Structure 1
Amino acid sequence: QEPFQTTVAFIYLPQAVGQYFPESTGIPSRVQFHFYELNTYVVSASVTNATIKDLKHPIFVTLQHHKATQPKDKVQCVYWDFSKNRQGGWESSGCRENQTSATHTTCFCDHLTHFGVLLDVSRTPVSEINEKILTVISYLGCGVSSIFLGISVLTYAAFRLRRDYPSKILLNLSLALLGLNLVFLVNSWLSSFGSRGLCVAVAAAQHYTLLASFTWMGLEAVHMYFALVKVFNVYVPAYILKFCILGWLPLVIVSLVLAVKMDAYGSALYHENIQPLDGSEQCWLQDDVVFYVSVVAYVLLILLCNISVFVVVLVQLCNIQPPGSRTGLLRDLRGVTSLTFLLGLTWIMAFFTWGPAKVPLLYLFAILNSLQFFIFVFYCLMKESVQKQWRIHLCFGRFRLADHS
């Protein structure tokens, strides 16, 4: 709860601190608080016989000012680092002002969010420096991907390229991935408004776009199987209509979660009944059971199906390609690479981010899965029909093609 106005020092410890208490030492653990008064108030909390670090939920500290601050005054949150300069010293990295007024300032440590958190099976934190680097990679990658996915959607929608089944499926997949990237990019910003309802809505939108993206990846695999393996004797009435119903069906899953357990959505701060006032927390699934059932199990099922189709497609490519052809080898390599991204196979790495391999695989995961502009490269930039439409409608001079049927 908010501290009383007369409180000079207020510290909030999340429930997760209790997990660090030793169980069988014979010495009971206790939380010790220390209070000092220097040129400002200083408060600390420590747990005997335990080391507290890498907390997923932040520790809040609210301190009263010795005298009321003016708007021009700069307030900084710091902590005492015993190892600094061999004698100790004040350090500010990793802590920031959450809220400040003329009489009080509230501080807590940063909790940045990278793209891998959407499918972090281990759900364990990484070091602060790795968190920052992964966050930068994720936001840059998602920003670039959003631009090129948007170009892909506009290209297929505006230039009459969505007439055949593969193009229609690709258009829907690009829309789902574009939504996933855009929601991720604005997630922290929207959470900074301090509205629990808005945070739940953003988390639900993130959940829906993630599931929709994987559903369309699975439908891509189904269509490839029909086209390359079951070439004959396959007729499905209202083919694309049924695909669209299935592709956007995850809305039912998200609606069920909202109806049954809305509290599963939110941020780590809301989960601890604290209202965040800056954009350092992402709104996402906080309930482990809902996360593992509606995200991990769902994604794993689709990826297993996609891997099976991927292997079958590779076998088909090998059977129809004459041996020893260098041109055919390059074409097959390009096809394998494009299928890897189209079917979402790079997301498999998320299931191996455990122990010592967690950080290296998270870097690889963030780089590959936040760079979906490869879909633009393989299915727009390198596609002859798209190049032709670009030259007809967008190019000038000798690069422009005469319009013809």
Structure 2
Amino acid sequence: MLWITLMLLILVCFSTSQAADYCEDVIRDCQQHPTNWTRCYEDRIAICRPRSRLFQGFFRQRVNSSQETEASPTNKHRVQIPSSALQKSRGPASEEEVLVVATVINSTYFQQSPPLRKERRLLPLQPMVNFGTVLGGLVLVVRAGNCPVRNLTQPIKLFFSHDKMVGKGTCMFWQVSEDASGAGQWSADGCITSNTGAEFICSCNHLSFFAVLVNPDISVDERNVVNLDYITYVGSSLSVLFAFIGFFIYVGLQRLRPEKAIGIHLQLTVALFCLHLGFLLCSFWVLLLNETEDSWVCRGLGLFLHWSLLATFTWLALEGFHLYLLLIRVFNIYVRKYLLKLSLVGWGLPTLVAVVCGILGVYGKYDLEYKDSNNHTSRSHICWLSSGFAQRRAVGYVTVAFLCLVTLYNSCMLVLVVFKLWKIRGGQRGYENSSDWKKMMKEKGPRLWKDCATVLSLSWVLGLPWGVASTTYLEVSLPGIYIFTILNSLQGVFMFLWSLALSCKSRSGSNSSVNDPSSQKMMTTSFKN
């Protein structure tokens, strides 16, 4: 009886272990240990057994290590492994055959932790970009031998076929993060991508979990990084210079015509001056001194940059609010000490937020990552939100959310401006004879251009070029990043041009008001107590 009991226990344990070794159950079992589930999966697929002969997407075979091997787990996934890689996978063993396993798994099992390179989105003059989606939703896993295969001189080739038109793609492998979360990120290190139109060919110098990411995060390589840096630094320097000049022009206009709109333009110009000056100081401080740790100067510069960025957004919102009062409320409202109250909001709110963040220790040296010409990861630094602060991303996202709200509100205000112009033009069509009608047609072209120039100028004053940043949550191209950088690094120049337009309009006197009252109203944007 004892022997029968022991045999039953052995059979139960054996059947349980065999059930756990079914290939269909490996991914589920390894997911229960997320600290290093990819290593668990690689080990288990070498010894698991398919529950059914109809099990698809799985290739396992012992092959001769002296010959190139090809494995095709599916009709859309194929891998060619050179003999040098197979021999390296043997390690010190002298056996001629090695085990090769190739399979595909669903990409939803890969919990992505954002890489440092994506953190670039939190910078004030850089956009956010979309990381992309896995082609077909499948990840190709390749395993050979018993030893890790890395730094191959003769790369392996992976083929990902597609039967429809797709965007551009990049070959990447899954890199597990160093923490115990089990998460990771997609990396292109060691892989070169080529596209024949019918399939993506990945040439990689190692074995791992591979996928093709379609419409991936823009690969801002070393050359593009240098170009964008030059554009940003030159544009910001011009903005500092012309914003400084525009400040004195607005001061002169304020003395000639004490209008509230000019006062708001003046405050916005000061905020833009501080923003671009702060950006240059934060960039060059770390670049020149090459500090390895946060200093009180870098923390102070990071606070100043964040404060000036918030102040710029706030004054852009107040520009839209003032335009709302002019267009909707007009003479139906009276606000005592109107400009003073706007100044308390425009400067007080950013100061309050920056002080709170400074007390919490948000600011310091921020690390950026990008790919150099050899496809290696390089780093640069700036005084901004400290990389060592755990809630850095939350502060950055709140800042971006504030920008999106301001852009949305000011876009609505610009639509109201266009509607008002159209309504005013429609009310001026009551002509009594043909001569008036001919005169109207003759003036229609110049008026149209003048209205377009007015609306375009107001879009700069309302900060709508910042709205390009919101589109980078979606698919964005490298030219889009260049456009964003150029437009926003030159905002100080645009405010200077607006001051010149107002100055020229002021010199034209009352004749401009008689000839074109609607455009004059849009240009002066006066709101008096």
TM-score using structure 2 length: 0.48
Is the Cα–Cα contact under 8 Å of residues 266 and 284 in structure 1 kept in the other structure?
A: yes
Q: 1:245 aligns with which of 344, 366, 376?
A: 344
Which whole-Å CA distance do the structure 1 matches of 2:397 and 2:39 have between them?
28
Q: 2:270 aligns with which of 149, 172, 175?
A: 175
Which whole-Å CA distance do the structure 2 matches of 1:386 and 1:143 have between them?
29
Is the Cα–Cα contact under 8 Å of residues 380 and 386 in structure 1 kept in the other structure?
A: no
Partner residue in 2 for 1:72:
none
Which whole-Å CA distance do the structure 2 matches of 1:318 and 1:162 have between them?
28
Q: 1:259 aligns with which of 356, 359, 374?
A: 359
Partner residue in 2 for 1:380:
500
Runs ≥4 in structure 1, deviation > 4 angstroms? Answer: 19-25, 122-125, 385-389
Partner residue in 2 for 1:338:
457
Evaluate the alpha carbon distance shift between residue 312 and residue 385 of structure 1 in structure 2; reply closer, same or farther with a 3 A threshold.
Answer: closer
What pairs with 1:2-401 in structure 2 (closer than 5 Å)? 25-26=41-42, 56=117, 126-158=220-252, 160-161=255-256, 163-191=258-286, 192-193=288-289, 194=291, 195-248=294-347, 249-260=349-360, 262-268=361-367, 280-285=380-385, 286=387, 287-293=392-398, 295-322=399-426, 325-354=444-473, 356-372=475-491, 373-381=493-501, 383-384=503-504
Which whole-Å CA distance do the structure 2 matches of 1:334 and 1:24 have between them?
64
Please state how far the C-alpha of 1:264 moved relative to its aligned partner: 4.9
Identical residues among aligned pairs (%): 32
Q: For 1:170, give the aligned amino acid.
A: H
Q: For 1:326, give the aligned amino acid.
A: G
- 1:200-232, Cα deviation, whole Å (9 max, x unpaired): 111111111011011111111111111122112
Unpaired segments ≥5 residues, structure 1: 1-18, 29-53, 58-79, 84-121, 270-278, 390-405
Which whole-Å CA distance do the structure 1 matches of 2:329 and 2:474 have between them?
42
Is the Cα–Cα contact under 8 Å of residues 338 and 375 in structure 1 kept in the other structure?
A: no
SS in 1 for 2:415: helix
Evaluate the alpha carbon distance shift between residue 320 and residue 258 of structure 1 in structure 2; reply closer, same or farther with a 3 A threshold.
Answer: same
CA-atom RMSD, angstroms?
3.6
Which whole-Å CA distance do the structure 1 matches of 2:417 and 2:263 have between them?
20
Evaluate the alpha carbon distance shift between residue 341 and residue 239 of structure 1 in structure 2; reply closer, same or farther with a 3 A threshold.
Answer: same
SS in 2 for 1:178: helix
Q: For 1:127, give the aligned amino acid.
A: D
Is the Cα–Cα contact under 8 Å of residues 146 and 182 in structure 1 kept in the other structure?
A: yes
Please state how far the C-alpha of 1:247 moved relative to its aligned partner: 0.7
Q: For 1:202, give the aligned amino acid.
A: L
Which whole-Å CA distance do the structure 1 matches of 2:36 and 2:285 have between them?
32
Q: For 2:325, give the aligned amino acid.
A: F
SS in 2 for 1:357: coil
- 1:75-127, Cα deviation, whole Å (9 max, x unpaired): xxxxx9x89xxxxxxxxxxxxxxxxxxxxxxxxxxxxxxxxxxxxxx998722
Evaluate the alpha carbon distance shift between residue 21 and residue 355 of structure 1 in structure 2; reply closer, same or farther with a 3 A threshold.
Answer: farther
Is the Cα–Cα contact under 8 Å of residues 283 and 382 in structure 2 kept in the other structure?
A: yes
Which whole-Å CA distance do the structure 2 matches of 1:298 and 1:20 have between them?
38
- 1:361-387, Cα deviation, whole Å (9 max, x unpaired): 211101111112122113325632566
Evaluate the alpha carbon distance shift between residue 358 and residue 259 of structure 1 in structure 2; reply closer, same or farther with a 3 A threshold.
Answer: farther
Which whole-Å CA distance do the structure 2 matches of 1:124 and 1:200 have between them?
30
Which whole-Å CA distance do the structure 1 matches of 2:356 and 2:116 have between them?
31
Which whole-Å CA distance do the structure 2 matches of 1:377 and 1:56 have between them?
35
Evaluate the alpha carbon distance shift between residue 196 and residue 320 of structure 1 in structure 2; reply closer, same or farther with a 3 A threshold.
Answer: same
Unpaired segments ≥5 residues, structure 2: 1-34, 45-114, 119-150, 155-215, 369-378, 430-440, 510-529
SS in 2 for 1:267: strand
Which whole-Å CA distance do the structure 1 matches of 2:410 and 2:324 have between them?
10
SS in 1 for 2:476: helix
Evaluate the alpha carbon distance shift between residue 251 and residue 357 of structure 1 in structure 2; reply closer, same or farther with a 3 A threshold.
Answer: same
SS in 1 for 2:490: coil
Please state how far the C-alpha of 1:140 moved relative to its aligned partner: 1.1
Question: How many pairs does the alignment contain?
Answer: 280
Evaluate the alpha carbon distance shift between residue 169 and residue 263 of structure 1 in structure 2; reply closer, same or farther with a 3 A threshold.
Answer: closer
Q: For 1:380, give the aligned amino acid.
A: L
Please state how far the C-alpha of 1:303 moved relative to its aligned partner: 1.4
TM-score using structure 1 length: 0.61
Evaluate the alpha carbon distance shift between residue 132 and residue 356 of structure 1 in structure 2; reply closer, same or farther with a 3 A threshold.
Answer: farther
Is the Cα–Cα contact under 8 Å of residues 156 and 162 in structure 1 kept in the other structure?
A: no
Evaluate the alpha carbon distance shift between residue 143 and residue 320 of structure 1 in structure 2; reply closer, same or farther with a 3 A threshold.
Answer: same
Partner residue in 1 for 2:203:
none
